[in-house]
Chains A and B, each alone.
Chain A
Amino acid sequence: MADLVPASELELAEAVRSARGSLAIRGGGTRAPQAEGDVLSIAGLTGITLYEPGALTMTARAGTSMSEIGEALAAEGQRLAFEPWDARAVLGRSGTPTLGGCVATNASGPRRVSAGACRDAILGLRFVDGSGEILKNGGRVMKNVTGLDLVRLMCGSRGTLGAITEVSLKLLPGVAATATLTAEGLSVEQAVRAMAAALGTPFEVTGAAHEPQAGATHLRLEGSEASVSYRAERLAAALGDHGAWSVAQGEGPWPRIRDAADLAGEADLWRISVRPSRAPEVVRALPGRYLLDWGGGLVWAEAPPGTDLRADLPGIGHATLLRAAPETHARLGSVQPEAEAVARLTGGIRDTFDPSGRFRARPVAA
């Protein structure tokens, strides 16, 4: 059957109501594992419907491409706080990332450590649940505690509760200058200690990453030119015990770190969320290449195809399987299995929003 590409939210709700089998919700097809069932595409729901630079607020339909959003923001000197990562490099995909896919996966980049995750920047959203009901939660204002927060629930729900149709975002002003402090040759233990020390200073570090292959540890500062140069000097001095830090102006390595672009390849790829100070323990248990972001709180790790990396990593927050054969996704589960009491709640919520299991498609061979 051809993909379903509804042109409006109403059409999308109708498509869900009249569907017989399972549906795989698809934005740009750049992130999700290939899944069984008919593809329900949100590509027909496009366009920025509201942009108020003076209120740091934008609303856009879920199929709007991230590049269109980026261009609109750049024209006003603004940006997304959470620096969404682009999965195309590591997954070898060629589609166009969409806002919906970004929100459904809570795609958050290096600035997570200071400005928060994608889920922290979503003010409100609309979605169609598994019964074909159109629902809304949150709004378009910065502070809103009216009713239960289904916004956070939907953000990162990976298309299992409903199809997100529209999203309101909180924005950040752009910056005039970016500088990167880099130290070479630190061990992973030294690097994690240095990043923690940096993030504990008042100098507003907006990126802290360690690239072991390059042997480099990076810290990012953003702001006005005078402020960045002042903080770069102070930060390098404060970290004198942690290594020798060189300072470079400009965008630096951050796009490549954000996307873990150096980990493109054939091995399985995992994204491990861990208490930052425990990153060195995780790294010691890893079988292959890795990258640390979020001051150590995010470990991108390669593993031989089919390996259950979670079995070797007790005590982590969780590990998400990103790149693997469909059989591996199906066998290990893309997301970390939950403790029993949590799983009962999660299961109850899935049954609530998707009673017929329409959105619980299993991964299949591409």
Chain B
Amino acid sequence: MQMPEPDGRILSRKAEVVRRLAEVLSDDALIHAPEELRAYECDALTAYACPPLAVVLPVSTEEVAACLKVCHEERVPVVPRGSGTSLAGGALPTADCVILGVSRMTEVLETDYADRIIRVQTGRTNLSVTGAVEADGFFYAPDPSSQLACAIAGNIAMNSGGAHCLKYGVTTNNLLGATVVLMDGTVVELGGAHMDAGGLDLLGLVCGSEGQLGVVTEATLRILPKPEGARPCLIGFDASETAGQCVSDIIKVGILPVAIEFMDRPCIRATDDFSGAGYPDCAAMLIVEVEGSDAEIDEQLGVITQIARRLDPVEVRVSQSEEESARIWLGRKSAFGAMGQLNDYICLDGTIPVGELPHVLRRIGEMAKGYGLEVANVFHAGDGNMHPLILFNANEDGQLETAERLGEDILRLCVEVGGCLTGEHGVGVEKRDLMAAQFDVPDLEAQMRVKDVFDPGWLLNPAKVFPLETSAARRAVAAE
């Protein structure tokens, strides 16, 4: 993976840029000492790192606007950062950029249960949005695995999903309004507490734009009343194909579970050892969760287990208690941590049409064998969002590169069968150079023209999302 060469003219002006940023920020909001900048050299895609020119940590929309205005005038690239949990390198710096972090902007600005909205500063973490309303029986639905740490700003930038979006949708479906600061410092209000756009849906455009159109500083989010209850069941099969069939059969019969999660044998074994969840040792396992009153849950789980039993399962286990539900989920939720204890891994995020699941799983196994690597699969099966984990040893020369090549092959396969490169993590730098596999030149050109409108100088997160050679001309003009 390449990043553009830093602009020497900016590096040589560091003192002047820092001086001007200091003028618009309080003392502790500006970081520019080399040893302190190391904390911001990467995000959760830790294979790549580069300390930035400086880091600013503003506390308000006004301060964000002032910082962006300075950077715009100085023609310094800006990389926005939420909590730095991106698995795609969305917040990876270049040496000539200013990192704009929103981590100190964590206030709840307004809560309104009658209108079912909460307005927050976007540095607030995902889980603490729910934390602010759950005592009153409400929650914020998108639940990425990193929800303890990840910020709403990053959720909006990447249009994050989670395990429960089969029923509740992803970030864009739960975002009603945003305060957005453009690169030149202009503050724009999009949407609000009402439910649709009057003119063009610019809010929908900004959500998922990976920090390339503007910095979202405040967000109005839809909150939902908590269901009366929720309970999972666990279903084990001796073949991935059968698990795929079971998912399709459940959906066809007219039940929409709140989550359908899938794990294969390597993942089941690793997570069970790690968490003591008590999973069956089988080729494929589903966790299917439904919501409602006890009777409603019983009714839905009855139908689901009936469907499963027709497919000759290894095990069907319906949770009988809160504790058992927590145990069933524990393994799934600790999957990435458990795999991380055993190996280095690359976590992919392609989505495929649900019907292609058996075929794609078989092909992934064959491809992995071809590269001499192992792949563990854990993913949101109801919506086809796969997370193949490619296991490798970072200390062995060349293994990272081999693992990355396998990752590219798997993502190309996802596109070939009618899917996409990324379902919820974003493109960042990780999938940037694969974009041409999914989009034709005019499609990418159309997206870049939209960025031109918001950020004509291509200063906001410029080296992400689009293949470097595709965006080269625009970035070159910006550097002149």
Contacts and interface: CB of A to CB of B under 8 A. Distances in A.
Interface of A: 52-57, 76-78, 106, 108, 112-113, 116-117, 119-120, 129, 133-137, 139-153, 155-157, 160-161, 172-176, 193, 196, 199-202, 223-224, 226-227, 230, 234, 273-277, 294, 297-298, 316-320, 335-336, 338-339, 341-342, 345-346, 348-349, 352-353
A55 B299 CA distance: 22
B193 A201 contact: no
B187 A341 contact: yes
Given A156-B197, A173-B255, A349-B200, A147 B444 contact: yes
A145 B425 contact: yes
A76 B252 CA distance: 8
Contacts of B186: 341
A112 B296 contact: no
Interface in B159-203: 159, 161, 165-166, 169-170, 172-173, 182, 186-203
Nearest to B292: A227
B252 A54 contact: yes
Nearest to B191: A317
Given A106-B196, A152-B172, A297-B194, A146 B114 contact: no
Nearest to A273: B194
Contacts of B371: none
B202 A342 contact: yes
Interface stretch (B26-34, B76-84, B413-421): B413-421
Interface stretch (B145-153, B234-242, B322-330, B451-459): B451-459
Interface residues of B, number: 96
B251 A135 contact: no
A142 B182 CA distance: 30
A117 B452 contact: no
A143 B351 contact: yes
A336 B199 CA distance: 7
A193 B444 CA distance: 47
A106 B196 CA distance: 9
B205 interface: yes
Contact of A352 (B165, B189, B380, B450): B450
B355 A141 contact: no
A175 B385 CA distance: 26
Contact of A54 (B192, B201, B248): B248
A230 B172 contact: no
Contacts of A176: 254
Given A145-B425, A339-B189, 19 more contacts: A112-B195, A116-B169, A120-B172, A141-B352, A142-B383, A142-B423, A150-B447, A153-B200, A153-B205, A201-B225, A202-B228, A227-B293, A273-B195, A274-B194, A277-B112, A317-B193, A335-B198, A342-B189, A352-B452
